[in-house]
Amino acid sequence: MDRRVNISRSPDARTPFAEQFRDFLRRNLNWFLIAGLALLLIQDIFGTHGVLAMRRSLEQAASMQKQIDELNEENQRLQDNVKSLKSDPTAIERIAREEMGLARPGEFVFKTQPDSADPKQAPASTPSNQKRPSQ
């Protein structure tokens, strides 16, 4: 005896899981697409390589370029100064007179103390090679 039951698809019969899942996806496909698009958009704006991170990187790059330009200008000034010190006798003489207190033979150097009433020109400390008056 062969017992076969003929199950016909009636409105009461249960559909298999795969078919139910397919129906669910068809009904909600638009919502899944909208949610996926929203997630991608959020990632594109706030993510590691998003728009905000790119702006931050561009600002940092501009700041670094500004520092590089300033350092290049300072470097050029220093190179010009070194070149003038190596070749320009007037620059060498100026430094010898102003910073080292040297004079040509026959010249006298007079050093004066600024007024003590003017605080801008008061010496910060007395040089060690000057003698203090004894009391």
Q: Is residue 124 a part of any domain in this protein?
A: no
What is the reported pTM?
0.47
Q: Is residue 32 a part of any domain in this protein?
A: yes
Q: Is residue 91 a part of any domain in this protein?
A: yes
Domain count for the chain, please give it. 1
Q: Is residue 117 a part of any domain in this protein?
A: no
| 75 to 45, 70, 72, 91, 122: CA distances (angstroms) | 40, 9, 5, 19, 33
> In this prediction, what percent of the chain has a pLDDT beyond 90?
35
Q: Is residue 43 a part of any domain in this protein?
A: yes
| 43 to 3, 34, 40, 51: CA distances (angstroms) | 59, 14, 5, 9
pLDDT of residue 67: 98
Q: Is residue 87 a part of any domain in this protein?
A: yes
Residue 12 has pLDDT above 50, yes or no: no
Average pLDDT of the segment spanning 48-55: 90
**Which residues have CB under 8 Å from 84's CB, separation 6+?**
91
d(CA 80, CA 76): 6
Residue 65 has pLDDT above 80, yes or no: yes
Which range of residues forms the domain containing residue 53? 28-101
Q: Is residue 33 a part of any domain in this protein?
A: yes
